[in-house]
Amino acid sequence: MQYRSLGRTGVQVSTLVLGAMNFGSIGKTTQDQVTAMIDVALDGGINLIDTADMYSQGESERMVGKAVAGRRDDIVLATKATMPMGDERNHRGSSRRWLVTAVDDSLRRLNVDHIDLYQMHRWDPDTGDGETLSALTDLQRAGKIRYFGSSTFPAYRIVQAQWAARENRLSRYVTEQPAYSILQRGIEAHVLPAAEEYGLGVLAWSPLASGWLSGAIRANREISTSRSVMLPDRFDTTIPANRAKLDAVEKLAVLADEAGLSMIQLALGFVTAHPGVTSAIIGPRTPDHLHAQLAAADTVLSADLLDAIDTIVAPGIDLAPGEKFDTPPALLDPALRRR
């Protein structure tokens, strides 16, 4: 396993991060399975675990808390807030009112006295940066969180938040967690340059592109994954964007085979090769998934192989632009672009 500094914090983290989204009802995993996977991850050198309050509505945090009991000090523990937690309209977002409650809820579920990295799961357009950063700074000073970061923020919001922190003399976001893979390279155009400019650690999620780069999805093979049930449009190969992804996967499979690598090694090695990326977040649902992904921990792609990938999916290009999670709200809601 390789280790890198998490932005300018000085905290050393593994280049692979154990993501806990599949822990609990989402991935249909039991506590024993979760504990076993965390054991394997820690033995494999992973020292950062990333979860969120909304993963299975708190169940993931509770499972992680039980699994890390007794070895908390050896783990960099990250979680997230802002996504809805139930139907109550104020149990979501990035307001001070909610974050003060949400962080205490996460601490209780995780059964810890502090969170190492507390991330805003999405940008909240209804809450000003000053409000959110002030609340996070107070939580940091209270010792409940050590650092805080953003997740899936568009580049202009990353810049705006850095400016707001400086203008108001508040602590700032020290990390960003964007979606990034060979098939979705759009963040290379704006998000990664902004992150590098401000010295942010970058924890890339979905490096296997929701399973497209796992080796399980190939031409003339039935697509059968849990994601295809939840998000059928992401895997319908009659949709042009998905056809483009499938065509790219076939070409990438040839590259991987010629290089003596698995598709997982190619995909994770690509993400961690970018100088702006600190770590890639893996999200295994089973121990077999985890073992296959840990095998990529020390994969280093040659310059020639990275150049060959560029000819298949050009730098800065998203093969499925409709899958972006950082689109400005006015592009999604016509009411926001009308006078």
Strand, helix or coil for residue 3: strand
Distance of alpha carbon 160 from alpha carbon 129, whole angstroms: 8
- The neighbour count for residue 101, using CB atoms within 10 Å, is 15
Tokens of 299: 């994969």
Tokens of 18: 């154990």
Tokens 């985890």 found at? 290
Out of 55, 118, 173, 198, pick the active-site residue: 55
Distance of alpha carbon 317 from alpha carbon 320, whole angstroms: 9
Is 173 a catalytic site residue? no
Distance of alpha carbon 47 from alpha carbon 17, whole angstroms: 7
Across the chain, how many H-helices and E-strands are there?
A: 12, 10
HEC per residue, 28-47? CCCHHHHHHHHHHHHHCCCC
Distance of CA 216 to the CA centre of its chain: 21
The residue type found at 216 is: A
**What's the burial of 60, exposed, middle or buried (CB within 10 Å: 0-12/13-18/19+)?**
buried
Residue 336 in contact with residue 327, Cβ under 8 Å?
no
Residue 59 in contact with residue 23, Cβ under 8 Å?
yes
Residues of 160-194 as b/e, b for ≥16 C-beta within 10 angstroms?
Answer: ebbebbeeeebbbbbbbbbbbbbbbbbbbebbbeb
Residues annotated as part of the active site: 55
